Amino acid sequence: MKYDFGELLTAMVTPMQSGGHLNLDKTVELANYLLKNGTDSLLILGTTGETPTLSHNEKLLLMEVLVDELKGKTKIVAGTGSYNTKETIAFSREAREIGVDGIMVVVPYYNKPPQRALYEHFRIIAEDIKLPIIIYNVPGRTATNLENDTILKLAKIDNIVAIKEASGDMGRISDLAAKKPANFEIYSGDDNLTLPILSVGGKGVVSVAAHLVGKEIKEMIQSYKKGNVKQAAQINNKLSSIFQGIFIDTNPIPIKAALNMIGFDVGTTRLPLLNLESENQLKINSILKEHHLI
């Protein structure tokens, strides 16, 4: 299966109202804003979307609203993975029925399955769901790293089309890029590693920073792919303070604070996440001023 989600996917925050309820109007507004500012496809129900704190019904509602509003305008990828294979399949079926264009399935976290079990987890999900699947490898959160041999076996499965790589191990990612089939794409899972991953053959990025500088990230990617490496490096260097600043605290605390500062009211985070501390608010504010965002 050759399926193109584009070069820049934005991992969307989930806007909240003052009482902590979903702000669906603002969610649609934010999605449209992102699409006008460089985003090719939307990733919803990821870590940045505070998915661990959303109820099952809230997740379904978010998918329904965005698919209804944006179907045909963009591709929508929903994070449906968990450490429970059976529940991942059940939730992915619901997402498929709602009409998402693809799913992202994280490496099972907490219980640390061996590599042979990880292969079976993804294989069985892919066999049942049939939608295009992006694997999400983020060992810093899951405590398990999906090894290249396992990824390459999974890449042979028709509808496993890409991986979001957030291991930070450029040597391993470079080796994967050299050995992967042509129809299997690598996306950076870290904004600050987008350019290095492009340099070894990556497709693009699943970005948090695109909430603020989507056009610039898209320009960087396209400059590199057109052979203007110097310009791409200059853009990357210019954006480095943004890339670092939005992870000054646990994601998505800083990016929500930044969006609120630039006048895009996405509300606060839900417990167990708290608002950004005043010292870090000043740092984010300074970075936004540096980039003329406020």
Print pLDDT tens along the chain (294 aa): 568 999 999 999 999 998 889 999 999 999 999 999 999 999 999 999 999 999 999 999 999 999 999 989 999 999 999 999 999 999 999 999 999 999 999 999 999 999 999 999 999 999 999 999 999 999 999 999 999 999 999 999 999 999 999 999 999 999 999 999 999 999 999 999 999 999 999 999 999 999 999 999 999 999 999 999 999 999 999 999 999 999 999 999 999 999 999 999 999 999 999 999 999 999 999 999 999 999
Torsion of CA 109, 112, 116, 121, to 10 degrees: -30
- Residue 242 domain-assigned? no
- Domain extent at residue 129: 8-226
164 belongs to the catalytic site:
yes
Q: How far apart are the first and last CA of the chain?
A: 43
Catalytic-labelled residue, pool 59, 75, 164, 256 = 164
pLDDT for the residue numbered 19: 82
- Residue 19 domain-assigned? yes
Q: What is the DSSP pairing of strand 185-188 with strand 160-165?
A: parallel
Question: What is the total count of domains within the chain?
Answer: 1
pLDDT for the residue numbered 18: 83
Residue among 218, 255, 259 nearest 236 (CA): 218
Helical pair 278-290 and 253-261, crossing angle rounded to 10 deg: 60
Q: What is the DSSP pairing of strand 41-44 with strand 8-11?
A: parallel
- Residue 70 domain-assigned? yes
- Residue 270 domain-assigned? no
pLDDT for the residue numbered 3: 80
Domain of 74: which CATH number? 3.20.20.70
- Residue 84 domain-assigned? yes
Catalytic-labelled residue, pool 119, 136, 187, 224 = 136
136 belongs to the catalytic site:
yes
- Residue 39 domain-assigned? yes
Angle, vertex CA 2, rays to CA 194 and CA 88, nearest 5 = 80
- Residue 262 domain-assigned? no
Q: Within the chain, what is the greatest distance between any pair of CA atoms? A: 50
Distance CA 164, CA 159 (A): 15
pLDDT for the residue numbered 2: 63
Q: CB–CB of 34/15 below 8 Å?
A: no
Helix, strand, coil share (%) of the chain residues, nearest 5: 50, 15, 35
Distance CA 71, CA 93 (A): 18
Query: For the chain, where are the alpha helices, taking DSSP H only?
Result: 24-35, 56-70, 85-98, 115-129, 139-142, 148-154, 170-179, 194-199, 210-225, 229-245, 253-261, 278-290
User: 263, exposed or middle or buried, with CB in 10 Å at 0-12, 13-18, 19+?
Assistant: exposed
Write down how long the chain is. 294
Q: Which two tokens stand for residue 283?
A: 């740092």
- Residue 178 domain-assigned? yes
pLDDT for the residue numbered 1: 58
